[in-house]
């Protein structure tokens, strides 16, 4: 099956700093990737749709200046949490659809962010 | 906006018992997918349902899509300890954007 890789898997940062999370499709090209946030024992909340070569589409209530998304190539999307605060601590997961006809989402391993 | 709810939130069963989780969308769906997330892991695709009233089986798992395409269910027959995890449905209204359900966490007692 298709492989989506996320890095880093865990990151701890100080309040006020910025953190970048990478999402790579290893064996396919992904024009569209999705970023989710998941709090402990809760569901995945869609944050934004990352589109290669264009601006990301953010879901209602998600601050685009807070969560910067860049999809500069067909295999890489990045999520930057700017000026992180403790309430930004969460599990961030990306996904991509290798084959548009099946619609199956392949997820990265996730990145656990802890802001001190 | 679109909401997808699942019940129950938690379910503890004895190994060998059956398990069912129900998924309800506030809007009509184009298709629905089911995922399993093991503790500490990421969601893994199980199946996609597209047609009204569709029923699909994967070994001990039976998936159903409602006639009105607003609800779905996942039934596991004779649960095993390997079935432990959280089961999410995810609905789409016709785009590639999927809204995840609230999830049902299954624990299987040996």
Which range has highest mean pLDDT (A7-11, A31-35, B39-43)?
Answer: A7-11
What residue spans of chain B are helical by DSSP H? Answer: none
Supply the DSSP string of chain A, one letter for each residue: ---EEEE-SEEEE-TT--EEEEEEESSS--SEEEEEEE-TTS-EEEEEEEETTS--EEPTT--TTTEEEEEEETTEEEEEE-S--GGG-EEEEEEE-S-TTT---EE---EEEEE-
Contacts of A106 in chain B (CB under 8 A): 45
Question: Nearest CB to A60: which of B1, B102, B105?
Answer: B1
Neighbours of B110 (CB within 10 A): 7
Contacts of A103 in chain B (CB under 8 A): 31, 33, 48, 92, 96
Identify whether the C-beta of residue A48 lies closer than 8 Å to the C-beta of residue A56.
yes
pLDDT score for B94: 81
Residue A87 has φ and ψ, to the nearest 5°, of -70, -10
CA distance B101 to chain A (A): 7
pLDDT over 90 (residue A26): yes
Q: What is the C-alpha to C-alpha distance for residues A27 and B41, in angstroms, rounded to an integer?
A: 21
pLDDT over 80 (residue A99): no
Over residues B65-93, the mean pLDDT reads 97
Q: What is the C-alpha to C-alpha distance for residues A31 and A69, in angstroms, rounded to an integer?
A: 14
Q: What is the C-alpha to C-alpha distance for residues B67 and B69, in angstroms, rounded to an integer?
A: 5
Over residues B71-82, the mean pLDDT reads 98
pLDDT score for B86: 97
Supply the DSSP string of B19-46, one letter for each residue: EEEEEEESS--SEEEEEEE-TTS--EEE
pLDDT over 80 (residue B30): yes
Which residues 15-44 of A are in CB contact (within 8 Å) with B? 32, 34, 36, 41-44
Q: What is the C-alpha to C-alpha distance for residues B80 and B69, in angstroms, rounded to an integer?
A: 30
pLDDT over 70 (residue B78): yes
Question: Nearest CB to A110: which of B42, B92, B105?
Answer: B42
Contacts of B101 in chain A (CB under 8 A): 43
Q: What is the C-alpha to C-alpha distance for residues A34 and A97, in angstroms, rounded to an integer?
A: 9
Model confidence pLDDT, tens digit, residues A100-112: 667 788 999 999 9
- Cα-only R_g, chain A: 13
């Amino acid at each position: 099956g298709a492989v989506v890789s996320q890095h880093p898997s865990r990151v701890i940062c100080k309040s006020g700093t910025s953190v970048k999370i990478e999402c790579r499709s290893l064996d396919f090209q992904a024009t569209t990737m999705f970023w989710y946030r998941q709090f402990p024992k809760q569901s995945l909340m869609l944050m934004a749709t990352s589109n290669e070569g264009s601006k990301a589409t953010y879901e209602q209530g998600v601050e685009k200046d807070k969560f910067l998304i860049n999809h500069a190539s067909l295999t890489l999307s990045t999520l930057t949490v700017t000026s992180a605060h403790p309430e930004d601590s969460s599990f961030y997961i990306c996904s991509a659809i290798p084959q548009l006809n099946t619609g199956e989402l392949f997820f990265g391993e996730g990145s656990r962010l802890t802001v001190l | 906006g679109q909401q997808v709810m699942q019940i129950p939130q938690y379910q503890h069963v004895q190994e060998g018992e059956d398990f069912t989780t129900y998924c309800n969308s506030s809007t009509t769906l184009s298709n629905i997918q089911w995922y399993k997330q093991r503790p500490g892991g990421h969601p893994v695709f199980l199946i996609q349902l597209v047609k009204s009233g569709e029923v699909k089986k994967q070994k001990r798992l039976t998936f159903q899509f409602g006639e009105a395409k607003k609800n779905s269910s996942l039934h596991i027959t004779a649960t095993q300890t390997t079935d432990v995890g959280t089961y999410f449905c995810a609905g789409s209204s016709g785009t590639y954007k999927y809204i995840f359900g609230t999830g049902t966490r299954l624990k299987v007692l040996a």
